[in-house]
């Protein structure tokens, strides 16, 4: 893997909104021209991506006529056929239109909640028509600026009712589609409900069809909350809930920067890639990021290529870490078992509990044993810096 060229088996995907991002921010107007969905598909094919994801309105404008919709979808399908790109994931825009300014599924207005369900069912139909197997829910405006006007218990119940309704819709239609919930702590609203992947995992267990629903953790969002992204991903994996993943990068405690993958926190990115590769995560590796506002079209392509190339380089580094004899010797030393434990504690039984209670521990020696994490971390850094 010396050339770090993306291949379909790497399952690298981008949203229409990522490389299509025009560089608008709260203080400035767009700096890049709009690209049509067809142009974006060709751009992604040019840089070597495997798939393209979209919100309903990235593809079909919210006020399109049925005839517009049919033409747009036909052209998009043609672009997919011409390039070989696939659509693994789709989602709904429930945050741009002013109707959603107080949330969608959790809005205080019953009409907005009903409209959000209608819009999502239509968007699911569109996603499935184009081949999506994963449907993402990012509650962009499901939150508050002030808790004076919305009860979090009502909001939670409304969100649950909406997801239960939509799970039944998918089952009733016979769609092969799973849901992936994406958490974010804040932005664009002051506080968003279910702000972390851990919160989403707890919420999923309260749904009528938890088996249909997993998570879509985003690196930048966990970092905004000051959390260790790899740990969140590991918890999701352990729960069998890592249905999708949004890769990007971010300086801690800032706004949602959505930087190029690996551009800021190389070490966290390394441990994340190592985790995904070690466990054999077979899902899409979706880059939910966009180029700097300073980028022109060529630089946007460099951004997209960079996301994939860095992932593959880090994958290579993870293999080096695994093959490094000194690193592996340190890991073996750290993880040493004690033959005197003879299988204790094992599974609970009255006997194992009694045997464990009877054991003598040298607490002083336990507290003195050296743990060579400094050496191990330095070796990790040297792998990353390319000198091992
Ligand atoms: C938006 C958001 C992302 C979500 C997308 C899906 S849209 O760009 O910042 O994190 O994944 O709705
Ligand atoms: Mn983000
Ligand atoms: Mn995202």
- Please report, to the nearest 10 degrees, the dihedral formed by the alpha carbons of residues 329, 335, 341, 343 taken in order: -100
User: Are 246 and 233 a contacting pair, CB within 8 Å?
Assistant: no
How far is residue 335's CA from residue 332's CA, in Å, rounded to a whole number? 5
90-144 per-position pLDDT tens digit: 999 999 999 999 999 999 999 999 999 999 999 999 999 999 999 999 999 999 9
| Residue whose CA is at the smallest distance from ligand 1 atom 6 | 138
Indicate which ligand has the atom closest to the C-alpha of 222.
2
CB 193 within 8 A of CB 181: no
**Whole-number mean pLDDT of the chain?**
97
Q: Which ligand 1 atom is nearest residue 221's CA?
A: 10
Nearest ligand to the C-alpha atom of residue 94:
1
Cβ atoms < 10 Å from Cβ of 288: 27
When pLDDT is averaged across residues 338-355 and rounded to a whole number, the result is: 89
| Ligand 1 pocket mutation pick from 13, 21, 140, 183 by most atoms within 8 angstroms of CB | 140
pLDDT digits (tens, 9 = 90+) for 284-306: 999 999 999 999 999 999 999 99
**CA distances, 351 to each of 337, 339, 348, 356, 359 (Å):** 21, 18, 8, 8, 12
The per-residue pLDDT for range 158-177, each reduced to its tens digit, is 999 999 999 999 999 999 99
pTM of the model: 0.97
pLDDT in tens, 233-262: 999 999 999 999 999 999 998 999 999 999
Q: Mutation test of ligand 1: which of 54, 138, 244, 290 has the most ligand atoms closer than 8 Å to its C-beta?
A: 138
pLDDT at 338 over 60: yes
The yes-or-no verdict on residue 345 having pLDDT over 90 is no
């Amino acid at each position: 893997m010396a050339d770090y060229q993306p291949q379909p088996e790497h399952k690298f995907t981008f949203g229409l909104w990522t490389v299509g991002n025009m560089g608008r921010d709260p203080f400035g107007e767009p700096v890049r021209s709009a690209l049509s969905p067809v142009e974006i598909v060709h751009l992604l094919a040019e840089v070597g991506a495997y798939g393209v994801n979209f919100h309903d309105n990235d593809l079909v404008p919210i006020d399109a006529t049925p005839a517009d919709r049919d033409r747009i979808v036909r052209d998009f399908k043609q672009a997919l056929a011409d390039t070989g790109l696939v659509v693994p994931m789709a989602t709904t825009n429930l945050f741009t239109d002013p109707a959603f300014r107080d949330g969608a599924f959790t809005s205080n207005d019953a009409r907005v909640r009903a409209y959000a369900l209608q819009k999502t069912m239509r968007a699911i139909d569109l996603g499935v028509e184009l081949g999506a197997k994963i449907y993402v829910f990012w509650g962009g405006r499901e939150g508050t600026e002030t808790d004076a006007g919305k009860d979090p218990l009502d909001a939670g119940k409304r969100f649950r009712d909406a997801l239960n309704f939509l799970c039944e819709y998918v089952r009733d239609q016979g769609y092969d589609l799973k849901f992936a919930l994406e958490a974010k702590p804040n932005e664009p609203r002051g506080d968003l409900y279910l702000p972390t992947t851990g919160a989403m995992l707890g919420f999923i267990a309260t749904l009528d069809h938890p088996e249909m629903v997993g998570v879509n953790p985003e690196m930048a969002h966990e970092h905004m909350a000051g959390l260790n992204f790899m740990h969140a991903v590991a918890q999701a994996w352990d729960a069998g809930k890592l249905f999708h993943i949004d890769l990007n990068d971010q300086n801690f405690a800032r706004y949602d920067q959505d930087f190029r993958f690996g551009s800021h926190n190389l070490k966290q990115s390394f441990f994340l890639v190592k985790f995904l590769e070690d466990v054999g995560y077979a899902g899409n590796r979706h880059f939910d990021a966009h180029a700097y506002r300073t980028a022109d079209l060529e630089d946007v392509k460099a951004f997209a290529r960079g996301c994939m190339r860095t992932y593959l380089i880090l994958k290579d580094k993870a293999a080096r870490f695994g093959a490094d004899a000194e690193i592996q010797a340190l890991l073996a030393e750290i993880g040493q078992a004690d033959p005197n434990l003879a299988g204790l504690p094992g599974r609970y039984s009255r006997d194992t509990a009694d045997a464990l209670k009877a054991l003598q521990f040298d607490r002083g020696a336990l507290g003195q044993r050296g743990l060579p994490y400094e050496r191990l971390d330095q070796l990790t850094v040297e792998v990353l810096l390319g000198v091992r």
